[in-house]
A and B are shown apart, each in its own frame.
Chain A
């Protein structure tokens, strides 16, 4: 079946603008995760969803970052008033409930803030 998809694949924006990144998980996967991959920083956990609720938002770097998930499926990560340090690849992953140690990753959205 189809894997995790993310859109857009690339996004260039100007400093101060808002951006929305979308993730479509694998059908039936109730757990969804957002990570950020920065050069030299590895993969940084941002937020975890179980269904539509987010029991762990501890990785969101500031209040400019928010995420929501609707219908237990699609998730949107929103970055307000983007800064240059937000430039990174944003990865989404999903997993089955009870098999959450095995996460399936999307291709990522490469964000460049000028």
Chain B
């Protein structure tokens, strides 16, 4: 079975402070991990995926297979980063890819 755990429901930081949103997973195969973001009154959208190893809006995430983690990090939080963040794991289902989401972390960046 595949499972994604986001231990923090709410993370509050000050503008300019570093951010780390935690994500741990369990999966028997080779995982593909993603971060999705939902800004206020907007639809859920892909932020980044581990295979791309890219930085989006200053955010990065490294897959640590030893710790089964995929934490999302940003060195300096901005007010516009305030949103709901979901970590997701992709697993095969009937030939397609099913996303298993964590429960999400609400990030609040305070001035």
Contact = CB atoms under 8 A, between A and B. Distances in A.
A50 B96 contact: yes
A42 B86 contact: yes
Contacts of B96: 31, 48, 50, 55-56, 100
A91 B36 CA distance: 14
B93 A55 contact: yes
Contacts of B45: 104-105
Interface string A98-113: 0011111111100000
Nearest to B97: A100
Interface string A22-66: 000000000101010000111111001010000110100000000
B94 A45 contact: no
B90 A101 contact: yes
B98 to A, nearest CB: 5
Identify whether the interface residues of A are mostly helix, strand, loop, or mixed: strand
B99 A103 contact: yes
A48 B90 CA distance: 13
Nearest to A105: B44
Contacts of A55: 93-96
B94 A42 contact: no
B46 A102 contact: yes
Interface stretch (B11-19, B66-74, B101-109): B101-109
Given A40-B103, A56-B93, A107 B98 contact: no
Interface string B18-47: 000000000000001010000000011110
A43 B101 contact: yes
Contacts of A41: 103
Contacts of B88: 43
Contacts of B6: 42
A58 B91 CA distance: 13
Interface of A: 3-4, 31, 33, 35, 40-45, 48, 50, 55-56, 58, 91, 93, 95, 100-108
